[in-house]
Structure 1
Amino acid sequence: MKPINVGIVGIGRIAAALEKDKKRYKPCTHLGSLVALKKEGKPIKLVAACDIREEAFFNIPTEFQSAKKYFSWQEMMNHHDDMDLLVIASDTYTHYEILKKALQRNIPKIVVEKPVCLLPKEAKKLKKVYARSTSKVWVHYERRYRKAYRQLKDILQTSSYTSFRGLLVLPQQNLFRTGKKEGALLHDTTHLLDLCFYLFGDLVRKKQVVSQNACRYFLEFEKASGILETILHKKLFHFELEVLTEKTRYRIGNGFSNQEAVVESPLYENFFSLKEAELFTHENFTQEDNPYLNLYRNVIHENLEQEGWRKTPPTLEKVGGNLSQPSRYKDVPPSRTKLKIWCGMRAKSGFAGFLRLSLAGHGCSGQASLERDSFLDALENVLVLSR
């Protein structure tokens, strides 16, 4: 079996060191996920690793110690035309130049940490480079691959009314970027906004209200409207997304997921209240539930067989129209069994014409929907949260 040659830039906390956190489910890093898949039999080989700090190389797992080590990402790229996958896990301010060069070199697959860049002008330039590149990019928004959010996405396909409220409380000093540091919004609120793109579609309009220690966004998407709120706190870290439909309220956050049913009020006539209901999903964060592993399984085209959510994203094949601008929906490999659906659509991204949508015949739950391109969403994420 042909090896999957991997290179990585940045070997710090999210690349590998977080595996030492005894309270985290494992794996919870880029290299930790690749090691786990290697143990499952995937032919993964780390051929090159780069960091500006010599001590960072001690974070490389034993399974990947044979990797060639570099202090310059430019030198690493020049010496490794054999990379099938590049992982960019360096400091955010370095992402733009590394990612731009990787796209220009058409490295087949790229996984990049969030946020993809710091500045709106960088996001706009990357979109143009991406449109000309053959590379496929995954942004490390691992919550898209968490079972609870996947199931919620399926549930919302049949909802006629949806609103949301996202709450993030965290011990940060700054909301916005200061120098090379991205600030709380780009570093953490970006996860909440990405989930909104994933669940609710394109952003239609927004309004921002900022105070000294808090920021609130009023957002309207194609399929829902609501609020994202970020609050700075001395100690507390709390992440939560609440979604309200006509029949149910869902709350999903770090370490919990629950639902409440809309029922006739026991206190007032002609009113309705919320009543705790049975959990809509059961997550054990086993190897099958692990969102980090699921992201990397998607990257290497692993066709998951986990019950409860659609594992194989649909394939978009152009059969007419103009593809001069990148589509918001990603071209991903089909499974062996396909359901062919012909549809005509005109997307805001400039993607017009007829598409053939290939959906997995097995492993689907709920209504099938197109898999959004996380990279294009991530670029717009920067435009919304930066200033």
Structure 2
Amino acid sequence: MRKSSVVLIGLGRIASSLEKDPYRNKPCTHAGVLFSEWGRKNFQFLGGIEPHSEKRVSFSKQWKLSSDLLHTDWEDWKKSKQVPDLAVIASPSESHYRNALDCIEFGIRNLLVEKPVCETFPQAKDLEKIARKKGVRIWVNHERRYHPKYAWAKSVLESGKYGAVRTIRASVLTSALAPGRAYQGRTGPLFHDGTHAVDLIYWFLGKPDRVRSSLTRRKGIPVEDRAVAFLEYKSGPIVFLEAGGARNYFQFEMDIMTEKARILLSNDGMRLFESRPSRKYKGFNSLTEVSFPEKSFLGSNPFENLYSSIRKVLTGKSERITGDIGENLNIMELLHRIKTKAEIQTVSEI
């Protein structure tokens, strides 16, 4: 079967350099998948686009590629007259919208875009409208949807095995004192990092009926240091969300409390507690930790699962897309709602 051809736009952190992190489960980048043994069998790398020369040089050395395959900008790429099956947009968030429009105008019909899909909700609305009109498929990389443990959590919640969801505490905690991409441009930690948590909240529960939120900002800083939201559903669940938070560490965690269990999904590991007769209090039930299920219909690596899903669609073996631009528009709308309706607190320092 013919390989699916790919162009990679943006050759930085999530595109490639994170693959050098010795602690991460590999592959953990787009290039890591594309140049893996499985990736080479299924995808053909046509080239990359990156305006920064040092990133092009680093990418070329890391993957042992000819510099001829790497281009400075879209105009340079167009000279090759190659229209790939798939464009992967892994550039900074503020470039996603323009990069996606360039790809669509060039005739590319399948895009994989890093989160957030655009820098703002109005941009996302416009991109979704154009993609729908042109018949372009757009995947948005919220990679936890392709993680077997998160997929198990969704399936068990939908099954009703543990009863209804009562509360979710969602935390995406980062350091404002050591700012990264989240504090550049207009995104802020809510859109840049909190989008992962909001995506999962929407994936698990759908659209909330009521949203209350607050943002904390420093004087002279255009984006928030901390975003807090309280989401309510008429069906019963309530969600507490915190993004940013000025911590001296990074932490992602979804603490899901149902009628009969607690499911803890975290970058520190997964834990499961079930309601069992208490060993401390007679006549009561307590949460007792049990083994987290290991079996899954997905493979163990989220990035490989993502690309495998895309490959099946490109080859006509499947029509299923999870987290496409249409669904992601709802997530962007929720992020926009949290941000624009928030009470603002301005402080002099963290």
Q: TM-score, normalised by structure 2?
A: 0.81
What is residue 41 of structure 2 aligned with on the other side? 41
CA contact (8 A) 2:3 2:41 kept: no
> Which of 166, 183, 192 is residue 187 of structure 1 equivalent to?
192
Give the Cα separation in 1 of the matches to 2:111 and 2:117: 12
| Cα deviation, residue 233, structure 1 | 3.1
What is residue 288 of structure 1 aligned with on the other side? 299
CA contact (8 A) 2:97 2:117 kept: yes
Higher RCO by CA contacts (8 Å cutoff, separation 6 or greater): 2
1:15-47 per-residue CA deviation (whole Å, 9 max, x = no partner) reads 0111111111211100111111546622x2211
What is residue 51 of structure 2 aligned with on the other side? 52
Give the Cα separation in 2 of the matches to 1:147 and 1:221: 26
Secondary structure of 1:257 counterpart: strand
What is residue 257 of structure 1 aligned with on the other side? 270
What is residue 207 of structure 1 aligned with on the other side? 212
Give the Cα separation in 1 of the matches to 2:21 and 2:322: 32
1:146-193 per-residue CA deviation (whole Å, 9 max, x = no partner) reads 010111111111224113111222113579976625221111111011
Higher share of residues assigned helix: 2
CA contact (8 A) 1:169 1:230 kept: yes
1:325-370 per-residue CA deviation (whole Å, 9 max, x = no partner) reads xxxxxx99556xxxxxxxxxxxxxxxxxxxxxx9xxxxxxxxxxx8
| Cα deviation, residue 106, structure 1 | 4.5
Secondary structure of 2:249 counterpart: coil
Give the Cα separation in 2 of the matches to 1:19 and 1:256: 20
What letter is aligned with 2:125? K
What letter is aligned with 2:327? D
1:169 aligns with 2:173: yes
Give the Cα separation in 1 of the matches to 2:193 and 2:48: 26
CA contact (8 A) 2:85 2:109 kept: yes
| Cα deviation, residue 237, structure 1 | 1.0
What letter is aligned with 1:26? K
| Cα deviation, residue 139, structure 1 | 1.0
Give the Cα separation in 2 of the matches to 1:31 and 1:207: 39
What is the percentage of aligned positions where both structures have the same residue?
A: 27
CA contact (8 A) 2:254 2:265 kept: yes
Give the Cα separation in 2 of the matches to 1:85 and 1:371: 14
CA RMSD of aligned residues (A): 3.0
1:302-345 per-residue CA deviation (whole Å, 9 max, x = no partner) reads 8xxxxxxxxxxxxxxxxxxxxxxxxxxxx99556xxxxxxxxxx
Give the Cα separation in 1 of the matches to 2:152 and 2:254: 14
Unaligned runs of 5+ in 2: 218-224, 341-350
What is residue 129 of structure 1 aligned with on the other side? 130
Give the Cα separation in 2 of the matches to 1:374 and 1:203: 20
| Cα deviation, residue 66, structure 1 | 7.1
What is residue 334 of structure 2 aligned with on the other side? 384
Count of aligned pairs between the two proteins? 322
CA contact (8 A) 2:183 2:189 kept: no
CA contact (8 A) 1:248 1:262 kept: yes
| Cα deviation, residue 78, structure 1 | 5.8
What is residue 108 of structure 1 aligned with on the other side? 109
Residues 1-387 of structure 1: matches in 2 within 5 Å?
Answer: 1-38=1-38, 41-42=41-42, 44-57=43-56, 58-60=58-60, 61-62=62-63, 64-65=65-66, 68-77=69-78, 79-159=80-160, 160-162=163-165, 163-172=167-176, 180-211=185-216, 213-220=225-232, 224-268=237-281, 271-281=284-294, 288-301=299-312, 372-386=322-336, 387=340
- Judging changes above 3 Å, is the alpha-carbon distance between structure 1 residues 77 and 376 closer, same or farther for their aligned structure 2 residues? farther
Give the Cα separation in 2 of the matches to 1:104 and 1:216: 38
What letter is aligned with 1:296? Y
What letter is aligned with 2:21? D
| Cα deviation, residue 222, structure 1 | 8.2
Unaligned runs of 5+ in 1: 303-330, 336-357, 359-369
What is residue 364 of structure 1 aligned with on the other side? none
Give the Cα separation in 2 of the matches to 1:219 and 1:104: 38
- Judging changes above 3 Å, is the alpha-carbon distance between structure 1 residues 64 and 197 closer, same or farther for their aligned structure 2 residues? farther
Secondary structure of 1:275 counterpart: strand
Secondary structure of 2:255 counterpart: strand
Give the Cα separation in 2 of the matches to 1:66 and 1:293: 26
- Judging changes above 3 Å, is the alpha-carbon distance between structure 1 residues 169 and 143 closer, same or farther for their aligned structure 2 residues? same
What letter is aligned with 1:20? K
Q: TM-score, normalised by structure 1?
A: 0.74
